Amino acid sequence: MAVARPQGADHALLYVPGRSFLHRLNPLTKLTLVLWCAVAAFALPPEGTIPLALLSILIGSFAGAGRVFARRLALTLLPLSVALFVVHGMLVDHAGARASLLGLDLSREGLAYMVRILGRIAALLSGSLLFVCTTHPSRLLKALDAHRFSPGAAYVIASPLLLLEPFTQRAKAIREAQMARGLDLEGSFMTRVKAFPALLMPLVTLALADIDHRAQVLDGRGFRAMPHRTVLDAPADSRQQRAVRWAVLVSIPVLIAGGVLWHL
């Protein structure tokens, strides 16, 4: 089926266009915060990760990418929490006290374990989702260039975002080619499930071939010829944001040390 897709320069796969506070924040500040979130997700106890996740969900829904963000997060987190609940609350045979909830006989330890994992994943996911929803890959690249990151380093940091778009186009092209040669992707659920490996395998091999090709193209264009590139319209930055970034970066080792001590 035809899916209309915006074709403007502003379009990127996960990016949600907007002018919120988060959109305007310098991409590097956001990147630093995401890094902090990722470390915190593992270092903090559930008492820390859950409020952190809630905070970023609230900010994301009301001051960031709004409904799109909330929907994407729900679509990922809800099935996951149901699965975790079933597996750890009911299936895995944890020793110790039982709890009863809505008439179900549940393992207390299993539930605690589930909350712990869920808190981590929620913190990690909401933070990074918020970042990709409010940051256009090209702005991230510009910010990295403006801060004199080497093109290689900038590319490594931004490439997952940049690769997504050609990757989905490639997936679409393969899907079309297979359907046009008779693969039934419009049939029942089961026929589609059966067709899935035929879609996935080529995508993975071709993605690898693409990355290889891309590296060659970049080299061919003298990608590393200059130590850094000059950016004319660098994303806005400020002294406060710089201070925040340093503070956040400095707090990361503290966070890790704290996490290690806590778990001892």
Ligand X SMILES: Nc1ncnc2c1ncn2[C@@H]1O[C@H](COP(=O)(O)OP(=O)(O)OP(=O)(O)O)[C@@H](O)[C@H]1O
Residues that bind another protein (CB under 8 A): 1-2, 4-5, 169-170, 173-174, 176-187, 201-203, 205-206, 209
3-state helix, strand, coil in the chain (%, to 5): 70, 5, 25
Angle between helices 66-84 and 46-63 (to 10 degrees): 150
DSSP 129: H
5 is a site residue for ligand X (CB under 6 A):
yes
Whose tokens are 């490996």? That residue is: 197
Q: Compute the Cα dihedral for 102, 104, 107, 112 and give only its sign.
A: negative
Residue 206 contact, options another protein, ligand X, none, Cβ 5-8 Å cut-off depending on partner type: another protein
Smallest gap from Cβ 50 to another protein, in A, equals 43
Site map (CB under 6 A) of ligand X, residues 24-63, x = contact: ----------------------------------------
d(CA 42, CA 54): 16
Residue 177 contact, options another protein, ligand X, none, Cβ 5-8 Å cut-off depending on partner type: another protein
Smallest gap from Cβ 136 to another protein, in A, equals 22
Residue 178 contact, options another protein, ligand X, none, Cβ 5-8 Å cut-off depending on partner type: another protein
CB-nearer residue toward another protein: 114 or 183: 183
Helix (H/G/I), strand (E/B), else coil: 261: helix
11 is a site residue for ligand X (CB under 6 A):
no
Span of 4-12, 74-82, 90-98, 193-201 interacting with ligand X by CB under 6 A: 4-12
CB atoms within 10 A of CB 175: 16
CB-nearer residue toward another protein: 98 or 213: 213
Nearby residues of 245 by Cβ (< 8 Å), 6 or more positions away: 28, 29, 32
Residue, CB closest to ligand X: 5
Residue 174 contact, options another protein, ligand X, none, Cβ 5-8 Å cut-off depending on partner type: another protein
Alpha helix ranges (H) inside 12-150: 21-24, 27-43, 46-63, 66-84, 108-134, 137-146
Residues lying near ligand X in the complex (CB under 6 A) are found at 4-5, 7
